[in-house]
Amino acid sequence: MRILISLLVTMGMAFGASAAPITEFETNYDGSNVEVTDINDGWSIGNLDLSLSNTLNSTKFSLEEGESKSFDFFDIRLPFGKGSADINATLDFLTPEGGSGSSQGDGWWKSVFFVSKGGLTWDEQPGLIELDNGASFQLAFEDLAGIQLGNKSTVQATVTSVSAASVPEPGTLALLGMGLFGLGLSRSRRN
């Protein structure tokens, strides 16, 4: 009976000492993209230049529930002239698997001599992304205002962990294993 009680206490301690729920994130450069889908009225010398941030190749981070992280998503360079465009963007993650969000935005620019301005507004945010393991996170893309001709402007993405799957700490699993080993050892001594 003593062995059964000690096993139950050990198991209770092991499962009660699980780590704080954490979700690991790693962006997928090759699975992400940003593109102009339609150039609207106006005239321009050159093209609206959009490119994924090189840092997406190495963006990795961990978030506990309620924590947020912002990072560079893509860069914009405006052409000379006046116009507007529809922009589609998709941000994909290697980790967590199945994490991906897309949105469409409206960009505009106006340049007269050496005075320029532009902006980008998203029609709606990618929002809540729910994963198969029960974890979920919010994904949002930054709106930009005051973009200047000739300067690179960077759009940031923000991830906020809403819920994460609990994972026991390695020490907790070791404690459970030692308890089971001790139970097996005491049974073998009885026989």
pLDDT tens profile 70-121 = 999 999 998 888 999 999 999 999 999 989 999 999 999 998 777 788 999 9
* Same domain? 57 vs 115: yes
* Same domain? 133 vs 152: yes
Domain that holds residue 3: 1-19+168-191
Give the tokens for residue 26: 């790693």
Query: Quick check: 52 and 34 in contact, CB under 8 A?
Result: yes
* Same domain? 70 vs 127: yes
* Same domain? 90 vs 138: yes
* Same domain? 186 vs 104: no
* Same domain? 143 vs 182: no
* Same domain? 128 vs 72: yes
Q: Where are the alpha helices (DSSP H) in the chain?
A: 2-16, 170-190
* Same domain? 34 vs 125: yes
pTM, full prediction = 0.76
What is the rounded average pLDDT of the residues 170-191?
A: 57
